[in-house]
């Protein structure tokens, strides 16, 4: 009985530490009103890497729906026996183990993939690398997302062309990014005014 109580208390504490996903994920103003720190973090990413807030937020929404500890689907043997995950992707940005390691080595950032700030900076770093290596504008969310999903080598080889579903997803991310951009122009002044209280 005592062990069950300790386990229940531990789970409650751990659950309380995890940020729940925003209530309205389709509206960037609502997201930033709910989580003002996220506005700061995405703005810091834009200032450091040049990746627009609406682009990085749209990529993150698609990758994890803003779930801090998001994991990819399970792999199954004979369609019924769980057998690990389909990839090592984890967290807000669904960063793979090797790419996250590269990010940490290059930047000195990256303490945790389930930390919003770290994940946001990762997206900025990755889109910057994609711009540098493939010449894709950081504002071109459609092609940035394809390179993010397939990896730069996969994008260069055109692997996405054999995946019509992925190109549809990239269009969805582009549409969400465009919506976020319009919404942000409507609430930027308010967000900046609220921000000034912290300084």
Does some domain include residue 38?
yes
**Distance in angstroms (rounded) separating the CA atoms of residues 29 and 52:** 15
pTM for this predicted structure: 0.84
Does some domain include residue 19?
no
Does some domain include residue 98?
no
Does some domain include residue 80?
no
Range of the domain at 39: 25-67+119-198
Phi-psi region of 148 (alpha: psi -120 to 50; beta: other; left: phi over 0): alpha
Q: What are 5-46's pLDDT values in tens digits?
A: 343 444 444 444 568 999 999 999 999 999 999 999 999 999
Does some domain include residue 164?
yes
Does some domain include residue 183?
yes
User: 174 Cβ partners below 8 Å, 6+ apart?
Assistant: 58, 141, 142, 145
pLDDT level of residue 197 (50, 70, 90 thresholds): low
Quote the pLDDT of residue 14. 43
Q: Are strands 81-85 and 74-77 parallel, antiparallel or unpaired?
A: antiparallel
How many folded domains does the chain comprise? Answer: 1
Does some domain include residue 109?
no
Does some domain include residue 188?
yes
């Amino acid at each position: 009985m005592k062990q069950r109580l300790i386990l229940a208390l531990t789970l409650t504490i751990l659950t309380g530490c995890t940020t729940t996903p925003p209530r309205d994920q389709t509206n960037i103003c609502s997201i930033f009103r709910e989580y003002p720190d996220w506005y700061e973090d995405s703005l810091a990413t834009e200032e450091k890497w040049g990746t627009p807030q609406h682009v990085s937020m749209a990529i993150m929404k698609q990758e994890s729906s803003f779930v801090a500890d998001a994991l990819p689907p399970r792999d199954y043997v004979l369609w019924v026996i769980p057998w690990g995950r389909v990839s090592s992707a984890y967290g807000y940005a669904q960063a793979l183990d090797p790419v996250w390691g590269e990010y940490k080595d290059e930047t000195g950032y990256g303490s945790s993939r389930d930390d919003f700030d770290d994940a946001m900076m990762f997206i900025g770093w990755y889109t910057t690398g994609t711009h540098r290596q493939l010449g894709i504008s950081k504002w071109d969310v459609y092609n940035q997302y394809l390179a993010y999903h397939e990896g730069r080598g996969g994008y260069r080889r055109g692997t996405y062309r054999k995946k019509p579903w992925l190109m549809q997803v990239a269009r969805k991310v582009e549409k969400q990014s465009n919506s976020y951009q319009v919404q942000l122009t409507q609430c930027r002044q308010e967000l900046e005014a609220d921000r000034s209280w912290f300084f």
